């Protein structure tokens, strides 16, 4: 028996997965079902999981029945309390994942009907003890995650009295235990992006104990094989992704890899793979992705891949092959996604694919194949996605795609494909996305597009080659005619000036026609796109006001980019009826700020890219645009800023250098959504800062060059979301004010340069444990004051320029192992101090200009192997001595003063640092 779930038919909510159960445990996402769109049938007793798309319309969840879904994951989409009300009726939910979302106590009320929830993840949300009573009726809860929230132990105890069978996790971090004496490499953290892809952020050196969150997806990039063997304290699930880039992988190496057998991803790079080299791969039974990069692969070397039962993705990139028969391997692997990349993916290797496979996604990119190589597509009958980036392909080879009846996504990048290619795809009736570049227009193929009645996304880059002898015979037929596509929602078009004609596209919502050479006269049918919400015409330098007359009739338009077009203020007047418009770009056009008078009543506007910085004369035109998120201010005054009082959703304002003072801050006092505020070199005072003391969302504040003092800092001490604070050149600031800064415990960036801070004031900074950048140049700090550095373990950048220090205080850098950028210029640093810098394993940039060091320090400097930039300008070092830095193999730039050097000395330095750029500058000039 089956059950059918009716999702929205026009746009997917995300990806669906079946949650299967075996041995009493649930295996998540084991079976990918497809997009959450239209009617979906599944076994009646199956548990259905929805991973929401980053752009999903959450209000569409309301059309689902209470028992349609058993699990929802919000990790790819930003949500707030009000969004949770869209799922309040889904009482069949067993699992709900809301980690690291902007959910507060108020939002928990929307969970009132989800009485069958077994697992609820609220980790890293903004819930507190106050909201927990709203969960007390969820008596089926077995696990509740509240780690990294403001919930206290007392709150947990009180809730557990009501939910006696629920395991509440309050402290859910993980500790990774690496050797203290050596490091196997670097650590990276993955973060899910809105598009579903991963973005990797460097965490630092894998050394000692490293704390990560419970959900962290951690990659270890192995740089030292010997150190990897010392990682005896790692647990199987500590590392999820491993990069191993060495010429060989021995049995001892495999022992190390198998120790972290919970790996989901493994990449081997540069390895010589003979028969049996991968035999231990079968121990990694949770491996989802296996990648080989720049490896030399021999016959039978890949056979163990067949034993990876959980494998979903196989990637072979820039590898060389020796008698390898890909067909034997690919026909027996459970993987569904295959990447074949690089010049060695040619017709010969593709010809070895001679057995039917079950792959659903195939990517052949940067390949040396020709049309003949595409004959292998016959052995991929289940493909739903095909991406081909092969320069030599033509329409002849692409005829092979016509048999891929299940294809939903087709991407082709080739140098010269004739328009007749579209005849080959006409039979692909399930195709939803088609992207083709470059297509040679001849007027004989685009009509076949009308057969693709399920097409939703079309990306077309076209040209017409007038160098071909037969060009004159079809010149007059060349045009981009696209129509009769009833489900098309998104389209981008690039051409070299061919006329564009659009018709019968009733659902088209997004049109990107940027950088086309088409004229107003040649752009036909844009006024027929009645469902259009987004239109990009950026760079269409022949488009002018005539097109805007048509655009002005598109009443549902929400986003419009007109930058780098020929439109004028008169053309902008045609847009006055676009009352749903939210984004408008009129920068770099013939229009100026007077055009704002024509759009001042479009109250849905959130963002405007203005032609010029705004002055007092422009601001009244914005006074009723109360949903604006940003403004580009120029020469404004307190009087002019009064016009913005109602624009309380603005999140960023830059007033640097403007003639404004406390009155402006009074006008901004209700701007509680503000995240970035730049008041540098303005006339504000301590009293004015009281007006921004309730900006709880503020993360970046620049007060440099202002007249604020200790009293002003006291007014902002409750802005605990601040991550960056600039107080440079605040001459009235004393140690008392600096001590107040220490209450801003989330600070990551702090600039105290050219203030009157002394060692006493700096001592309080030790409480800023998250600090990554600290600038102290031109202050009264001494070696003694640098003791605070011992507690600042997250520091990446430190500026100690022009301080009265000899370098003895640098010994306190011993715990700053993540330091990358250190400025010591114009201080009294001496040779003996340099040895302290060897404790900084990640130091990449070091500025020692105008210090007292001599050639004696060069051997010590040469031991800092991580250095990429070194400044020795104005020191007492001779040019000939620089060759002692030869061990700095990673050094990219060496800056020294311009001196006379012999040819032999220059040759010796070039031989010592062959890959380093040597810059010789005038030592009398200040390059800071």
Can you list the domains of the chain with their CATH numbers?
2-169 (3.80.10.10), 810-928 (3.80.10.10)
In angstroms, how far is CA 550 from the centroid of its own chain?
36
CB half-sphere exposure, 316, CA atoms < 13 A: 24
Please count the other Cβ atoms lying within 10 Å of the Cβ belonging to residue 479: 19
Output the pLDDT for position 646.
96
SS3 17: strand
Structure tokens at 807: 């370098």
**Can you tell me the distance from the alpha carbon of 428 to that of 455, in angstroms, rounded to the nearest whole number?**
10
Enumerate the H helices of 103-208 as residue ranges. 153-162
**Can you tell me the distance from the alpha carbon of 291 to that of 175, in angstroms, rounded to the nearest whole number?**
27
- Residue the block writes with tokens 């006696």: 164
- How many degrees, rounded to 5, is the angle at CA 572 between CA 570 and CA 573? 65
The percent helix, strand, coil of the chain (3-state, each to 5) is: 25, 25, 50
Peptide bond before 438: cis, by omega within 30 degrees of 0? yes
Q: Are 304 and 329 in contact (CB under 8 A)?
A: no
- Residue the block writes with tokens 């699990």: 71
Output the pLDDT for position 22.
43
Output the pLDDT for position 927.
58
Structure tokens at 436: 């083709």
**Can you tell me the distance from the alpha carbon of 25 to that of 19, in angstroms, rounded to the nearest whole number?**
10
**Can you tell me the distance from the alpha carbon of 890 to that of 901, in angstroms, rounded to the nearest whole number?**
24
Q: Are 636 and 616 in contact (CB under 8 A)?
A: yes
- How many degrees, rounded to 5, is the angle at CA 501 between CA 498 and CA 505? 140
Output the pLDDT for position 26.
37
SS3 309: coil
Structure tokens at 444: 């004989």
| Residues 6+ away with beta carbon under 8 Å from 594 | 569
Output the pLDDT for position 915.
94
Peptide bond before 18: cis, by omega within 30 degrees of 0? no
**Can you tell me the distance from the alpha carbon of 261 to that of 289, in angstroms, rounded to the nearest whole number?**
13
Residue numbers of the chain with a pLDDT score lower than 70: 20-30, 192-197, 925-928
Structure tokens at 145: 């995650």
* Cβ burial, residue 171 (10 Å; 0-12/13-18/19+): exposed
Structure tokens at 659: 């003639």
Q: Are strands 559-561 and 917-921 parallel, antiparallel or unpaired?
A: unpaired
Output the pLDDT for position 29.
45
Q: Are strands 185-192 and 218-222 parallel, antiparallel or unpaired?
A: antiparallel
In angstroms, how far is CA 548 from the centroid of its own chain?
34
Helix (H) or strand (E) holding 187: strand 185-192
Nearest Cα to 677, choosing from 621, 729, 716? 716
Output the pLDDT for position 31.
73
**Cα Rg of the chain (Å, integer):** 32
**Can you tell me the distance from the alpha carbon of 482 to that of 138, in angstroms, rounded to the nearest whole number?**
54
- In total, the chain counts a number of residues equal to 928
**Can you tell me the distance from the alpha carbon of 613 to that of 593, in angstroms, rounded to the nearest whole number?**
8
Q: Are 242 and 265 in contact (CB under 8 A)?
A: yes
């Amino acid at each position: 028996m089956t059950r059918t779930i009716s999702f929205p038919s026009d746009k997917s909510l995300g990806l669906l997965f079946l949650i299967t159960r075996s041995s009493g445990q649930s295996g998540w996402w084991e079976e990918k079902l497809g997009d959450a769109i239209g009617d979906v049938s599944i076994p009646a007793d199956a548990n259905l999981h929805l991973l929401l798309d980053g752009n999903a319309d959450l209000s569409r969840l309301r059309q689902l029945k209470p028992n349609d879904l058993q699990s929802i994951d919000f990790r790819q989409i930003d949500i707030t309390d009000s969004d949770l009300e869209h799922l309040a009726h889904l009482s069949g939910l067993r699992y709900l994942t809301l980690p690291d979302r902007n959910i507060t106590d108020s939002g928990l009320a929307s969970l009132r009907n989800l009485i069958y929830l077994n697992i609820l993840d609220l980790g890293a949300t903004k819930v507190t003890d106050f909201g927990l009573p709203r969960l007390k009726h969820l008596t089926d809860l077995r696990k509740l995650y509240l780690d990294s929230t403001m919930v206290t132990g007392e709150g947990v105890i009180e809730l557990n009295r009501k939910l006696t069978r629920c395991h509440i996790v309050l402290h859910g971090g993980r500790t990774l235990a690496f050797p203290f004496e050596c490091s196997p490499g670097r650590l990276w953290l993955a973060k899910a992006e809105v598009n579903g892809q991963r973005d990797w952020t460097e965490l630092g050196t894998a050394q000692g104990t490293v704390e990560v969150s419970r959900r962290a997806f951690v990659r270890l990039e192995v740089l030292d094989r010997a150190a990897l063997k010392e990682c005896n304290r790692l647990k199987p699930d500590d590392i999820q992704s491993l990069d191993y880039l060495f010429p060989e992988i021995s049995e001892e190496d495999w022992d190390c890899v198998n120790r972290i057998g919970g790996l989901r991803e493994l990449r081997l790079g540069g390895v010589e793979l003979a028969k049996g080299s991968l035999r231990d791969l079968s121990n990694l039974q949770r491996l989802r992705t296996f990648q080989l990069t720049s490896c030399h692969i021999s016959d039978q070397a890949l056979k163990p891949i067949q034993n990876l039962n959980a494998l979903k993705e196989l990637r072979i990139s820039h590898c060389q092959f020796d008698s390898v028969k890909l067909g034997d391997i690919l026909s027996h692997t459970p993987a569904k996604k295959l990447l074949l990349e690089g010049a060695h993916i040619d017709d010969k290797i593709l010809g070895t694919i001679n057995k039917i496979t079950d792959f659903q996604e195939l990517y052949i990119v940067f390949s040396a194949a020709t049309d003949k190589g595409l004959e292998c597509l016959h052995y991929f009958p289940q493909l739903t996605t095909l991406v081909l980036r092969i320069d030599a392909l033509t329409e002849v080879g692409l005829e092979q795609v016509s048999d891929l009846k299940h294809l939903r996504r087709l991407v082709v990048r080739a140098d010269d494909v004739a328009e007749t290619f579209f005849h080959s795809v006409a039979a692909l009736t399930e195709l939803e996305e088609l992207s083709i570049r470059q297509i040679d227009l001849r007027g004989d193929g685009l009509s076949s597009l009308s057969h693709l009645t399920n097409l939703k996304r079309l990306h077309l880059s076209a040209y017409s080659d007038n160098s071909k002898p037969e060009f004159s015979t079809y010149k007059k037929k060349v045009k981009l005619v696209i129509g009769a596509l009833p489900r098309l929602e998104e389209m981008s078009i690039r051409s070299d000036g061919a006329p564009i004609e659009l018709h019968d596209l009733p659902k088209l919502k997004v049109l990107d026609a940027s950088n086309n050479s088409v004229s107003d006269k040649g752009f036909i049918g844009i006024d027929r796109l009645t469902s259009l919400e987004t239109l990009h015409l950026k760079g269409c330098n022949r488009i002018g006001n005539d097109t805007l007359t048509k655009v002005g009739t598109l009443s549902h338009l929400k986003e419009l980019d007109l930058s780098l077009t020929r439109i004028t203020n008169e053309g902008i007047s045609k847009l006055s009826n676009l009352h749903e418009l939210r984004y408008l770009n009129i920068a770099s056009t013939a229009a100026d700020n007077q055009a704002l008078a024509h759009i001042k009543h479009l109250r849905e506007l959130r963002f405007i890219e203005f032609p010029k910085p705004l002055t007092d004369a422009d601001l009244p035109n914005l006074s009723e645009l109360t949903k604006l998120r940003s403004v580009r201010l120029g020469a404004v005054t307190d009087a002019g800023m009064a016009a913005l009082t109602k624009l309380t959703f603005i999140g960023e304002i830059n007033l640097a250098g403007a003639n404004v003072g406390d009155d402006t801050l009074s006008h901004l006092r209700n701007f509680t959504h503000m995240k970035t505020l730049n008041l540098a070199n303005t006339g504000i005072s301590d009293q004015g800062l009281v007006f921004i003391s309730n900006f709880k969302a503020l993360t970046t504040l620049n007060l440099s060059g202002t007249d604020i003092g200790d009293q002003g800092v006291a007014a902002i001490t409750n802005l605990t979301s601040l991550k960056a604070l600039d107080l440079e050149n605040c001459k009235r600031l004393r140690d008392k004010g600096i001590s107040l800064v220490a209450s801003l415990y989330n600070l990551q960036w702090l600039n105290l340069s050219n203030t009157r801070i002394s060692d006493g004031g700096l001592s309080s900074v030790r409480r800023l444990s998250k600090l990554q950048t600290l600038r102290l140049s031109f202050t009264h700090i001494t070696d003694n004051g640098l003791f605070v550095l011992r507690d600042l373990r997250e520091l990446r950048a430190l500026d100690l320029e022009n301080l009265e220090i000899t370098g003895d205080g640098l010994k306190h850098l011993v715990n700053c192992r993540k330091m990358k950028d250190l400025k010591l210029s114009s201080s009294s640093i001496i040779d003996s101090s340099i040895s302290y810098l060897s404790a900084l394993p990640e130091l990449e940039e070091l500025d020692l200009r105008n210090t007292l060091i001599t050639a004696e320090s060069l051997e010590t400097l040469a031991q800092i192997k991580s250095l990429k930039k070194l400044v020795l300008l104005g020191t007492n070092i001779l040019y000939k001595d620089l060759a002692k830095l030869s061990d700095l193999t990673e050094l990219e730039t060496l800056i020294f003063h311009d001196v006379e050097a012999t040819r032999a000395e220059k040759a010796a330095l070039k031989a010592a640092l062959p890959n380093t750029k040597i810059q010789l500058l005038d030592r009398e000039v200040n390059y800071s």
